[in-house]
């Protein structure tokens, strides 16, 4: 009996090690190099599966050696639970056929968003940014940036020279009474902080260009004109919705009468990410935000931008896709789960931002929590004994997912800490392995959906070499997202397209200053 169990365990282990070995050799080329310090995600999953599949087999062999039939029954029950958990998590698995269907539907929405006659009905709006020139390394001088996107905002100054790039910044608070007061009070506060910053950095008397990152829903009608559609993130300043926020900032600066600042452009954080990355890598043509929310911008041919009515001879335009709204028309219903629908039902924007709710940091932890709650109520986890926190909405933070998946296979240091924090100190190692498995399923689906989006953009542009700039906490801190994305994008892009993923450094701030720098450089060229 012991011999047969040992042979069974050896076969399982050999098969899994073979998978890991095969995958490792596949990653020996460009993909492995691009992964950097990230552990290979499939290798980690295989090792995790080996632990989960092999642990009870080993214990069974040890117990059988002592003739324990009772423990054999317990192990059989655990194996049955494991299989049921895997079956419940199958809803997070997407076949290649499904992923390619997602790509096809996204491509159709991109085309509709760009079209003059279809734009109004498209879920992916593809807004024009009116940015047609990218940094080329010839920009010189000092430039300011404002970055407003929450309860804090930043002022930055960058100094571009022949062989250096210097950037300094300071964070300022937006008090609650200003967030909920008048628009005039908000922009007066911003202008005052800008003046204080310029004094501190001894540029108060200089005439400087400024780029403005404004991370709220905008309808942009020019490089320096953006109409606020609605406030989010706790802001409710009166007199700003449906108004031009660039003009509001200019008016506040004028009311002071002591600043010589020219607002040269307004943008969002995805566009800033692309601009920041292209300054370092001229092949960058896509900017992605993958953090609390998600968005993408990319370089499109001007001839495809039907809403752009000028004929200035420039061949390209940065497009702000607002791809978080992909699926708002029901086009993603074929892959949505009961957990996705419940997240949407209890969100503040029900029926909106469907794609974002499947991939972004604001929602991934809650998707995991809902799955864990269901498994617990099915008596498949924690012996059916949950906790108040586990059953409380939004109590399972997305950072927990990253921490749990950072544990080495077979180790549960972070997982144990998270579960104890949630009042689940009674969790067994089998429970912790199952929790990790659920996290992996949700993370992998999110990474593959983002990969499908990026591959769709790469295929649409069809440039032979493209760098994708990415910013955001999910991509930055999840231990396997980078590798999962590299592997899936490489499978999905057309033959002949080479890509790499580049972590952005402060896209929303640096990118805004670079927009101002490029605009100034172009203005100088036209005036020469």
Residue 460 DSSP code: H
Angle at 139 between CA 138 and CA 143, to 5 degrees: 170
Q: How many CB atoms lie under 10 A from the CB of residue 394?
A: 12
The DSSP result for 75-95, as a single string, is HHHHHHHHHHHHHHGGGG---
Distance from C-alpha of 317 to C-alpha of 132, rounded to nearest angstrom:
5
CB 16 within 8 A of CB 50: yes
Nearest 5°: phi and psi at 496? 100, -10
What is the distance between the alpha carbons of residues 50 and 85, in angstroms, rounded to a whole number?
Answer: 16
> Degrees (nearest 5) of the Cα angle 384, 390, 394?
150
Q: Phi/psi at 435 (nearest 5 deg)?
A: -60, -45
Which segments of 302-428 are extended strands (E)? 316-320
Residue 162 a catalytic site member: no
Rounded to whole angstroms, how far apart are CA atoms 380 and 88? 10
CB 515 within 8 A of CB 280: no
What's the token pair of residue 426? 């009674």
Buried b (16+ CB within 10 A) or exposed e, 110-147: bbbbbbeeebeebbbbbbbbbbbebbeeebebbbbbbb
- Candidate list 27, 56, 147, 269, residue with the active-site label: 269
Q: Which of 116, 121, 138, 233 is catalytic?
A: 233
Q: How far, in whole angstroms, is CA 276 from its chain's centroid?
A: 17
Inter-residue contact 262 to 208 (CB < 8 Å): yes
CA-nearest of 458, 466, 467, 448 to 494 is 458
Q: Note if 233 is an active site residue.
A: yes
* Alpha-carbon torsion angle 427, 433, 436, 441, nearest 10: -130
Enumerate the active-site residues. Answer: 233, 269
């Amino acid at each position: 009996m012991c011999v047969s169990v040992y042979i069974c365990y050896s076969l399982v282990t050999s098969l899994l090690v073979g998978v890991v070995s095969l995958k490792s050799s596949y990653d020996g080329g460009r993909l492995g190099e691009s992964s950097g310090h990230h552990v290979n995600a499939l290798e980690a999953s295989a090792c995790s599966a080996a632990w989960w599949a092999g642990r009870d087999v080993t214990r069974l062999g040890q117990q059988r050696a002592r003739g324990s039939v009772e423990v054999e029954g317990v192990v059989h029950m655990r194996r049955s639970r494991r299989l049921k958990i895997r079956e419940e998590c199958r809803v997070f698995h997407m076949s290649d056929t499904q992923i390619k269907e997602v790509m096809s539907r996204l491509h159709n929405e991109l085309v509709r968003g760009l079209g003059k006659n279809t734009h109004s009905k498209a879920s992916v709006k593809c807004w024009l940014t009116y940015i047609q020139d990218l940094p080329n390394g010839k920009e010189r001088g000092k430039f300011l940036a404002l970055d407003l996107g929450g309860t804090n905002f930043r002022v930055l100054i960058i100094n571009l020279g022949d062989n250096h790039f210097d950037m300094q910044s300071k964070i300022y608070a937006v008090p609650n009474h200003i967030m909920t007061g008048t628009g005039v009070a908000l922009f007066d506060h911003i202008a005052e902080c800008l003046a204080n910053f310029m004094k501190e950095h001894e540029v108060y008397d200089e005439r400087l260009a400024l780029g403005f990152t404004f991370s709220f829903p905008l309808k942009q009608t020019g490089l320096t004109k953006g109409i606020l559609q609605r406030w989010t993130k706790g802001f409710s300043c009166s007199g700003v919705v449906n108004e031009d926020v660039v003009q509001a900032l200019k008016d506040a600066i004028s009311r002071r009468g002591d600043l010589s600042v020219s607002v040269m452009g307004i943008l969002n954080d995805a566009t800033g990410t692309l601009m920041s990355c292209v300054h370092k890598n001229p092949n960058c043509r896509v900017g992605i935000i993958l953090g609390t929310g998600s968005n993408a911008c990319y370089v499109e041919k001007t001839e495809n931008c039907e809403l752009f009515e000028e004929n200035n001879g420039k061949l390209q335009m940065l497009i702000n896709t607002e791809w978080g709204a992909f699926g708002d028309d029901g086009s993603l219903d074929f892959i949505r789960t009961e957990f996705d629908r419940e997240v949407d039902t209890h969100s503040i924007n029900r029926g909106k931002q469907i794609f974002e709710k499947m991939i972004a940091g604001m929602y991934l932890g809650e998707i995991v929590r809902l799955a864990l709650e269901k498994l617990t109520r099915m008596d498949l986890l924690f012996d059916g004994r949950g906790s108040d926190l586990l059953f409380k909405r939004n109590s399972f933070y997305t950072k927990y997912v990253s921490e749990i998946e950072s544990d080495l296979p077979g180790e549960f240091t972070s997982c144990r800490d998270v579960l104890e924090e949630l009042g689940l100190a009674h969790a067994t190692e089998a429970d912790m392995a199952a929790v990790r498995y659920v996290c992996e399923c949700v993370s992998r689906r999110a990474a593959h959906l983002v990969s499908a989006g990026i591959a769709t953009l790469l295929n649409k542009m069809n440039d032979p070499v493209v760098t994708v700039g990415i910013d955001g906490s999910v991509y930055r801190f999840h231990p396997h997202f980078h590798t999962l994305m590299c592997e899936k994008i490489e499978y999905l892009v057309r033959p002949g397209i080479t890509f790499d993923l580049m972590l952005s450094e402060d896209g929303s701030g640096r990118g805004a200053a670079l927009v101002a720098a490029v605009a100034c450089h172009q203005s100088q060229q036209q005036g020469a």
